[in-house]
Amino acid sequence: MQEWNRAIELIEADLASQIDVGRLAQVALTSVYHFRRMFASLAGLPLSEYIRRRRLTAAAAEIVAGQAVLDVAIRYGYGSAEAFTRAFKSMHGLTPSQARRPGAVLHSQPQLRFHLRIEGSADMKHRIVKKDAFRLIGLKTRVRLIYEGPNPLIEEFERNLDPTVRPRLAQLSDTEPFGLLAVTENLEDPGTEGSELDYWRAAASSRTAPVGYDSTDIPAGLWVVFETEGKFPEVLQHLWADAAAEWFPANPYRWAPGPQLLSVQSEPDGSKGRGQLWIPIEAITTDTR
């Protein structure tokens, strides 16, 4: 993780200037897409949110030290004192003027340090699949990413699905991963609290989508398939973090653009079960990692 920590140091050096994500990815020996995706999985928050919080942490120290609000706002990339004050309050729960009062309690985003955890006591069950092109067919919505615990927006979407949707998708499923799929794609990295992504209830198919259903064609390519079982939804959510922290650093592949496919078999009460996570990958050589 030495390269990733150098990228973090570059962020610290450039907090008061424009941060070049391409340069961060280059230092981390990866692509911009892979850097953003891996960062979110490892850190538990999007890259831009981390940068925003680090800037507001540094800004708070300057505000408390008595520097002018407008000067601090401009230094950290805000176009006005009002915009800075809104961002400051969203993180600290106080305005800059309130932060200067004796006893004011502020929040802080510590500087991240990445460490590669090597345990050897747990085996990540996985397989590499070279898959032909296929089509995702289903219904989708836009939700916020939640790293731990149930996602209420996804739960609401699933509750509101017409009763005919799941049986219809089951009929359309004719290629791996078989059955009903929970699909996530188009993860954004906005400078706000949390990221947004597309969530699908879908099936992998070779057929044409029925009227009223969304569809997208997925090109042929390589996939890594992880298998897990245990308590829901935590064991499934941990798959992404474990893949980013443990599997990718140890294998000659990187996370490729495309949807992530989750196939789940749960117990009747939904508390436990088994899952498969399909992540698109591309092979890389040692000198490009």
CATH 3.20.80.10 domain locations along the chain: 126-288
Euclidean distance between CA atoms 168 and 210, whole angstroms: 9
Burial class for 98, CB neighbours closer than 10 Å (0-12, 13-18, 19+)? middle
Instruction: Extract the tokens encoding 81.
Output: 């004192």
Q: Which fold has domain 126-288?
A: Multidrug-efflux Transporter 1 Regulator Bmrr; Chain A (3.20.80)
Query: What is the rounded CA–CA span in Å between residue 14 and residue 29?
Result: 19
Contact 280, 255 (CB under 8 A): yes
* pLDDT computed for residue 233 by the predictor: 62
Q: What is the pLDDT of residue 162?
A: 94
Which segments of the chain have a pLDDT < 50?
Answer: 118-122, 190-193, 286-289
Q: Shortest CA distance to 137 belongs to which of 261, 9, 267, 265?
A: 261
Q: Cβ-count burial of 15 within 10 angstroms (0-12 exposed, 13-18 middle, 19+ buried)?
A: middle
The pLDDT value given to residue 104: 82
Q: Using the structure block, give the residue that is written with the tokens 């188009």.
A: 186
- pLDDT value, residue 194: 54
Fold of the CATH domain 2-99? Arc Repressor Mutant, subunit A (1.10.10)
pLDDT at 270: 62
pLDDT of residue 254: 85
Contact 208, 227 (CB under 8 A): no
Burial (0-12, 13-18, 19+ Cβ within 10 Å), 220: exposed
Please report where in the chains the tokens 């990540």 appear, as a residue.
Answer: 124
Kindly state the DSSP code that residue 111 receives in the 8-state scheme: P
Give the model's pLDDT for residue 192: 40
The partner residues of 265 in beta bridges, in order of sequence, read: 274
